[in-house]
Amino acid sequence: MTPDAVPLSGPRFQTEPGPLYRELRREHGEVTPILLDGGVPAWLVLGYRELHQVTSDPVLFSRDSGLWNQWDTIPDDWPLLPMIGRNLPSIMYTVGERHRQRVAMISNALEARDSHEMRSHAERFADELIDAVCTKGNADLIGQYAMLLPVRVLARLYGFPDEDGPALVAAMNDMIDGRDRALAGQNHLATSMADLLAARATRPADDVVSRMLADRKGFSDEEIIQDLIVMLTAGHSPIADWIGNSLRLMLTDSRFAASLFGGRNSVAEAMNEVLWEDAPVQTAAGRWASRDTRLGGRHIQAGDLLILGLQGANSDPQVRPVDADLTGGNCAHFSFGHGEHRCPFPAQEIAEAIARTGIEVVLDRLPDIDLAVPAESLTRRPSPWLRGLTELPVRFTPTPALGGS
């Protein structure tokens, strides 16, 4: 690794990633040497073309974490192990034909959902959350809304009873926070998934878990449980941040003011712009080089880890001018990944439906909503991986609750 490697940490990754990515590109090129927690070396792929190359070649740039040439230096308590695990039995680290079979199993289970019913559940849960704050005239749309909604809808889609929803929300957010309750949250999710799997093995229903068990393609219970946890984790926080980042844009940018008065086109436009400019998933781990190669003018050694700079690639000036209009239908961003390991299309549809429903319910129920603090005072959670607000304080005219409709 080069001596000018940049730590993948610090406030600039949260406060001004756009200028930082441009600076890294100027000083280091499209493939930047970085240091992960504990000084662990890796490469950050910022170039659009380079990221397209990495994600299009699963043989040269493998998802098999067992290839990593740094495992001998990684301590058992390394904080990134949950994200970069060795030989975990999940779809994240499966390659080749078994990966394609696993994607098919998951996609088929998600594809068979009733989209109208799912939207109805999303609206009902969103209305319940708005009911809890609408009479007060103020709310935090992150902690009291966005971070509570997606996992409730996804849990219902899986087959969990609604009464399990609040505990799953708490466990998921504890795990994402990465603090003292992170392990307890992870254990609660694993236990809940195992219990649901056991119940559906004897009493199938019209839900994702039952459909995966009926089409398991030889995968074990543990593998299916791991995939369910991956889908829930990969869905919840990015959807929550998609809702929060889109609402922030609509509340602070005059171009989207019409949507606050019933317009709907600008909701979709704001959501698409966020995926380009303020993506919930900024960077993702990772790919491992299966042999020595060159990428973006850099010598990549066999076993090197490459971190996918999704937001950096989205803003690559070689493929997208700085002032390009992003409110149309251009969806050539990397926010859902690319290649064999991209987010399955049915999962993208589900994410879009939950996020858009969540935004529209806010605008319908709180029509005169306004930001309660200066826009420049809004802060981001401290993570180079995910980009979301810590809070989104708003004010509005108090309105009656719907009362369980």
Task: Encode pLDDT of 296-325 as tens digits.
Answer: 999 999 999 999 999 999 988 887 765 655
CATH number for 6-395 (one of 1.10.3470.10, 3.40.50.150, 1.10.3720.10, 1.10.630.10): it is 1.10.630.10
Radius of gyration of the chain (CA): 21
Which residue in 40, 72, 19, 385 sits closest to 237, CA to CA? 385
Which DSSP letter does residue 142 get?
Answer: I
The reported pLDDT for the residue numbered 405 is 43
The reported pLDDT for the residue numbered 212 is 94
Burial of 228 (0-12, 13-18, 19+ CB in 10 A): buried
The reported pLDDT for the residue numbered 330 is 67
At a CB cut-off of 8 Å and minimum separation 6, what does 26 contact? none
Please name the residue that has the structure tokens 């998921």: 172
Record the pTM: 0.91
Strand partners, 293: 300
The reported pLDDT for the residue numbered 176 is 67
As a whole number of angstroms, the distance between CA 112 and CA 162 comes to 20
The reported pLDDT for the residue numbered 258 is 52
The reported pLDDT for the residue numbered 184 is 82
Examine the pLDDT at 26 and tell me if it is beyond 80.
yes
Which residue in 365, 350, 366, 377 sits closest to 158, CA to CA? 350
As a whole number of angstroms, the distance between CA 159 and CA 208 comes to 7
As a whole number of angstroms, the distance between CA 401 and CA 397 comes to 13
Which residue in 235, 201, 223 sits closest to 102, CA to CA? 223
Residue 24's pLDDT band, with cuts at 50, 70 and 90, is very high
Average pLDDT over residues 102-124: 92
Average pLDDT over residues 126-146: 96
Average pLDDT over residues 160-164: 89
> How many CB atoms sit inside 10 A of residue 82's CB?
14
As a whole number of angstroms, the distance between CA 350 and CA 119 comes to 9
Tokens of 26: 């100027």
The reported pLDDT for the residue numbered 179 is 60
Domain assignments of the chain as residue spans, ordered by start = 6-395
Residue 386's pLDDT band, with cuts at 50, 70 and 90, is confident
As a whole number of angstroms, the distance between CA 123 and CA 132 comes to 14
At a CB cut-off of 8 Å and minimum separation 6, what does 72 contact? none
The reported pLDDT for the residue numbered 187 is 86
> How many CB atoms sit inside 10 A of residue 175's CB?
24
Average pLDDT of the chain?
88
Q: What percent of the chain has pLDDT over 70?
A: 92
The reported pLDDT for the residue numbered 338 is 84
Provide the terminal-to-terminal Cα distance of the chain, rounded to the nearest Å.
59
Average pLDDT over residues 107-111: 92
pLDDT in tens, 214-242: 999 889 999 999 889 888 888 898 999 99
pLDDT in tens, 180-205: 677 788 889 889 999 999 999 999 99
The reported pLDDT for the residue numbered 209 is 95
The CA dihedral of 225, 161, 246, 115, to the nearest 10 degrees, is: 90
Residue 299: left if φ>0, alpha if ψ -120 to 50, beta else—which one?
beta
Regarding predicted confidence, which is higher, 58 or 174?
A: 58
Q: What percent of the chain has pLDDT over 90?
A: 55
The reported pLDDT for the residue numbered 261 is 59
The reported pLDDT for the residue numbered 316 is 87
The reported pLDDT for the residue numbered 230 is 85
